[in-house]
């Protein structure tokens, strides 16, 4: 059972799990993003108590959805909730007792490369690769764009092959946002 800890303990747990390689860098970043989204909707007593946060999670989730439905898809918000649930479960198993952290063996998901595209299809950018993401026997065809940066850093965009126009528009809007933060003279849609 959870001990009476502030919500910041979950951020500390994410950092510890990442440092011990129980969370990949991407998993840790996803957990932090979900936590920041939910943290905005917490009352003071929920911020001060992980058990209370867990108890009120569905009400908090409804507030997150109501305030963010225009910025995120319903599927994305559901994914953030799943990340919070996974984080709470991992914290309950491994975060309360530090000796259990050492015995934690994380589940690993495999990514397999797809066959080359057919001759009549245009060739993709050299940084883009196709993958099948395996998860419980369901295979999802994915395209992954990887841009390597100095010091081993990378920027990645990973999308399903059946990406909708609405989803692509949201990705474009995010890229426009990034461009504006880098170049204030940038005009979105250029």
Q: What is the pLDDT of residues 82-125, one digit of tens each?
A: 999 999 999 988 887 777 776 677 766 666 665 555 454 444 45
78 near 92, Cβ under 8 Å?
no
- pTM here is 0.55
Report d(CA 133, CA 26) in Å as an integer.
15
In 3D space, the residue among 20, 65, 16 whose CA is nearest the CA of residue 40 turns out to be 65
The three state secondary structure string of 122-171 is CCCCCCEEEEEEEECCEEEEEEEEEEECHHHCEEEEEEECCCCHHHHHHH
- Could you tell me where the beta strands, DSSP code E, fall in the chain? 111-113, 128-135, 138-148, 154-160
By three-state DSSP, how is residue 102 classified? helix
How many other CB atoms sit within 10 Å of the CB of residue 15? 13
How many other CB atoms sit within 10 Å of the CB of residue 151? 4
Q: What is the pLDDT of residues 21-76, one digit of tens each?
A: 888 899 999 999 999 999 999 999 999 999 999 999 999 999 999 998 888 888 88
């Amino acid at each position: 059972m959870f001990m009476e800890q502030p919500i910041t303990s979950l951020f500390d747990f994410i950092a510890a799990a990442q440092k011990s390689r129980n969370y990949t860098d991407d998993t840790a970043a996803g957990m932090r993003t979900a936590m920041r989204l939910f943290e905005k909707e917490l009352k003071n007593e929920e911020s001060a108590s992980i058990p209370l946060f867990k108890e009120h999670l569905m009400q908090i989730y409804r507030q997150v959805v109501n305030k963010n439905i225009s910025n995120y898809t319903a599927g994305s918000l559901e994914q953030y909730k799943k990340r919070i649930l996974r984080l709470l479960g991992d914290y309950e198993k491994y975060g309360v007792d530090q000796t259990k952290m050492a015995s934690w063996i994380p589940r690993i998901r495999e990514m397999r490369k797809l066959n080359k595209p057919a001759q009549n299809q245009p060739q993709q950018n050299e940084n883009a690769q196709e993958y099948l993401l395996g998860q419980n026997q369901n295979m999802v065809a994915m395209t992954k764009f990887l841009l390597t940066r100095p010091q081993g850093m990378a920027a990645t965009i990973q999308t399903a092959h059946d990406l909708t126009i609405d989803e692509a528009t949201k990705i474009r809007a995010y890229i426009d946002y990034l461009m504006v933060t880098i170049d204030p003279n940038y005009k979105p849609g250029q």
